[in-house]
Structure 1
Amino acid sequence: MTAIAETRTVEAGPEQGGERLDRFLSQAFEDLSRTRCKALVEEGRLTVDGQVLTDPSAKVKAGALYGLAIPEPEQAEPVPEDIPLEILFEDDHLIVVNKPAGMTVHPAAGNWTGTLVHALLHHCRGSLSGIGGVERPGIVHRLDKDTSGVMVAAKTDAAHQGLQQLFARHDIERVYLAFVRGAPKPRAGTIDTRLVRSDTDRKKIAVARDPASKAGKRAVTHYETVRTFGQEPKAAIGTPMAALVRCTLETGRTHQIRVHMAHIGCPLLGDPLYGKGGRGSVLARTDDDRLLKDFRRQALHAAVLGFVHPVTGAELRFETEMPKDMQRLEGFLETL
């Protein structure tokens, strides 16, 4: 067995009791895929209250302390994997796909297989741009593992360089749909901050405390409230329980929308990292919040990607509907 790089611990909450173990672990440790968690458990790297457990399908025990030993990474050149892709557009220079939630974009510690890069290597059969190196061939931007939606990848170096320039100039149309707790006030506006790495949690990004600070990177999100759902109990009339928000990115920073929505008091539903009070807290006041408790990712979808083709000059724009899990979530919110 390879050397241990770190051991992560997590205590199962009451609402997580009874759920499948590998699913619970992949949600607790956002950078690890469910497949990776399953493999680690089967290798005997998981302890439950100090006892080794090797069955990834076992049920989680509420209140139990789980410890997962992460081995030192064994970096290797990605091998093509036959993973189905929803392709929206493809030519000799680039490919546009609709990435599903749960798929990591490129290999990294904890996700050396099953990524979008592995799928693209198989589909494109060696034609991806090499500018990104062996771990990120063709990748010019990314979505978080649990964010779904439209992504573009370069198949030639010319397309890669051209796309990089478009992103650097913010000359790309990027629109996201998000379900948030409460509703923004005002209903439409612009959030303009600087984002830095959190001092208290290195997994998190935070808004710089000093608006005049030059720390971090400037992040700008334009938002508008599409619709609202329900009425917060014991709150002023017109205080929604949740809202569907359309976010247009002027910049594209790590976790930008998730951080910005939380910053204005409207964290994304299902967001395990920035959602105040944890999963399901928004609708915990209702008689039936089972659907939201089963919604195990941030409710965020990259709905629109538009840009000028960096080689042909053609104007391209791709729009996808929300995935089924977000559609079901919307249907539930409509009943509030």
Structure 2
Amino acid sequence: MDAPPPPTSGKDTKYPFDLTTLQQALQDPPLEHQLGVHVAHVVAAREGPASEVLAEQLDVPRELVLRLLWFGALYYSPVAPLPHPDRMAGLTTEQLDSIRAVRAAGLARWGRDSKLQTPRRLSTDEVVAAGGYLRAHCHPKRFPVAHSLSQQDWVARLLAVREDHVVVSKPPGLQVPPTVDNVQESLLACVERALSLPGGMLQPAHRLDAGTEGVVVLVRDSPAFAAYFRGLMAEKSDRVRKTYRCLVTTPPSAHLFPPGGVLLHESGGDGVREPEAATPHSDTLGSSSGRSSSTDGRLVHWVLEDQRTAGEMAHTVVVCEGTPGAQRCELKLKQVERVQLSEQAAALWGLDLETSGTSGAGTGPRAVAYEVTVELVTGRTHQVRVQMAAIGCPLLGDHLYGALVAQGRLRQQQECGAAGQHATGSGLPGQCVEEASGPAQLLKEAAPLPARGVAAEWCRPALEQQLAPVALQAHSLEILEDGLMGTAPVTHCAGAPWWHRVNL
């Protein structure tokens, strides 16, 4: 049975903002700020190329829809899916009946194959069926850094290019995999263009946060290498060594470092001083409260990953050992060194400048910070950021864990609910505001849901500055056994952290 023609009233599907907004959302180079999320849900009024159908029903120029297609921001399925359960809870009976009717017609025509009910990203301007479901992410998340580096810059960041893998130094401000609405400005796409590879050739072997710089391994169309690297990561303490560098305003206590690991020289270089170190809250001391340390630099916490309630970014929290679902989190503090930052770096983080004690041409006011070198033993989400924050040393630029420490949420949140339950959100890391308007023809002016799309006040800065650089670098990756990456030891190093390389 053919699906009945859906309503085609302009007000149901028309793009609700000024056309200039859509043009700005898709321009190159992109805006320095993100536009609010707007996802259009449309039931195709007729059969035809996706770009034509959407251009007609959104009432926008087709070239802009083709631009969305290029970004990877269009999705299609012959059978309309049910909305997210959270959103369905806010719909009226009439709205739910409308959704179910459209979906039932699609099922009657196409059957119940799950592939036909799951929206897939369109890579070509394919023909869509009347009654089919289209989703357009009209304001893709943009990554300006993808446009700030030249082809030569990207080639310089390639640390190794092999038949089955590529190693690259990722700049801060860029995601490794594509986002739900932007394929073209991911690390994968940037490296593919630098190597003149076809799109989709590279896949991430692991990931770094968008704000983090450093060594990333990409799989080059090789399931065998992907399996090999997963095995390395599963036993990283014996087969691989991952070293990170991070920057804090207050150094960790000297007793946490191994002998010789404290290099806190005065500005004039006339000796070593012991500055006032971070003083963690008393409830973070001792293994019973989620943390232990030893003189070899080992720092151990117990954590729960992917914690959030409505309006929050997913984050990791520190809990007591023995908490249901808690995972062991371990790193080694190797070294802390007092460093001077340029005026530009100081301005980025709002640091006070001080006059250097050394004489010489070009010497001027500098900000002081402390660069900490750590070695990962385990590999948990946000591990370095969490563990440094847990000892009272949140990283510069880390709006998420800095806020958790300031609000007393890094531990308190789980003392009241250690089971690790979290509210469902959009399903996308860090994405709390999903849609500006409901499904145009499926929902027909759905009532607003206050529980969704509203950012929690404490994490608003983190949400608004998701691409801001965090003072964290995946500095080096060392492979300690012979294998597909070469004869051991194999070392890939990102070089000096970006906060040393900023333009003075």
TM-score range, shorter chain: 0.5 to 0.7
Question: Residues of 2 paired with 1:317 and 1:211: CA distance?
Answer: 35
Task: Name the SS for the 1:113 alignment partner.
Answer: coil
Alignment pair present for 1:310 and 2:483: yes
Q: Paired residue for 1:15?
A: none
The structure richer in helix per residue is 2
Q: Paired residue for 2:303?
A: 194
Counterpart contact for 1:95–1:152, Cα < 8 Å: yes
Question: Residues of 1 paired with 2:204 and 2:191: CA distance?
Answer: 10
Q: Paired residue for 1:322?
A: 496
- With over 3 angstroms needed to count, the CA separation of the structure-2 counterparts of 1:305 and 1:124, relative to structure 1, is farther
Question: Residues of 1 paired with 2:393 and 2:329: CA distance?
Answer: 17
Q: Paired residue for 1:74?
A: 74
Alignment pair present for 1:119 and 2:293: no
Counterpart contact for 2:243–2:475, Cα < 8 Å: yes
Question: Residues of 2 paired with 1:57 and 1:121: CA distance?
Answer: 24
Alignment pair present for 1:175 and 2:253: no
Counterpart contact for 1:180–1:267, Cα < 8 Å: yes
Q: Paired residue for 1:228?
A: 338
* Alignment counterpart, residue 170 of structure 2, candidates 77, 99, 123: 99
1:109 Cα shift?
A: 2.7
1:255 Cα shift?
A: 1.1
Question: What is the identity, as a one-letter code, of the residue corresponding to 2:197?
Answer: R
1:77 Cα shift?
A: 6.5
1:277 Cα shift?
A: 9.3
1:219 Cα shift?
A: 2.0
Aligned residues: 250
Structure 2 gap ranges (5+): 1-9, 41-72, 76-120, 125-146, 258-296, 341-351, 353-366, 406-466
Alignment pair present for 1:211 and 2:321: yes
Task: Name the SS for the 2:401 alignment partner.
Answer: coil
Q: Deviations over 1:111-146 (max 9, x none)?
A: 4321112134442625x9xxxxx6x94311011111
* Alignment counterpart, residue 204 of structure 2, candidates 109, 122, 139: 139
- With over 3 angstroms needed to count, the CA separation of the structure-2 counterparts of 1:174 and 1:40, relative to structure 1, is farther
Q: Deviations over 1:14-65 (max 9, x none)?
A: xxxxxxxxxxxxxxxxxxxxxxxxx9954578xxxxxxxxxx769x9xxxxx
Task: Name the SS for the 1:98 alignment partner.
Answer: strand
Higher relative contact order (CA 8 A, sep 6+): 2
Q: Deviations over 1:202-253 (max 9, x none)?
A: 42422342221241433212113421369xx9xxxxxx97421001111222
Question: What is the identity, as a one-letter code, of the residue corresponding to 1:71?
Answer: V
Normalising by the residue count of structure 2, what TM-score does the alignment of the two structures yield?
A: 0.43
Q: Paired residue for 1:151?
A: 216
The structure richer in strand per residue is 1
**Identical-pair percentage:** 25
- With over 3 angstroms needed to count, the CA separation of the structure-2 counterparts of 1:215 and 1:305, relative to structure 1, is same
Alignment pair present for 1:274 and 2:405: no
Who wins on radius of gyration, i.e. which is larger? 2
Q: Which runs of 4+ in 1 moved over 6 A?
A: 1-4
Counterpart contact for 1:3–1:71, Cα < 8 Å: no
Question: What is the identity, as a one-letter code, of the residue corresponding to 1:325?
Answer: W
Question: Residues of 1 paired with 2:20 and 2:486: CA distance?
Answer: 47
Question: Residues of 2 paired with 1:327 and 1:218: CA distance?
Answer: 35
Question: What is the identity, as a one-letter code, of the residue corresponding to 1:74?
Answer: L
Task: Name the SS for the 1:68 alignment partner.
Answer: coil
Question: Residues of 2 paired with 1:205 and 1:40: CA distance?
Answer: 35
Normalising by the residue count of structure 1, what TM-score does the alignment of the two structures yield?
A: 0.61
1:147 Cα shift?
A: 0.8
Query: How much is the aligned-residue C-alpha RMSD, in angstroms?
Result: 4.1
Question: Residues of 2 paired with 1:246 and 1:141: CA distance?
Answer: 21
Q: Which shows bigger deviation, 242-251 or 183-192?
A: 183-192
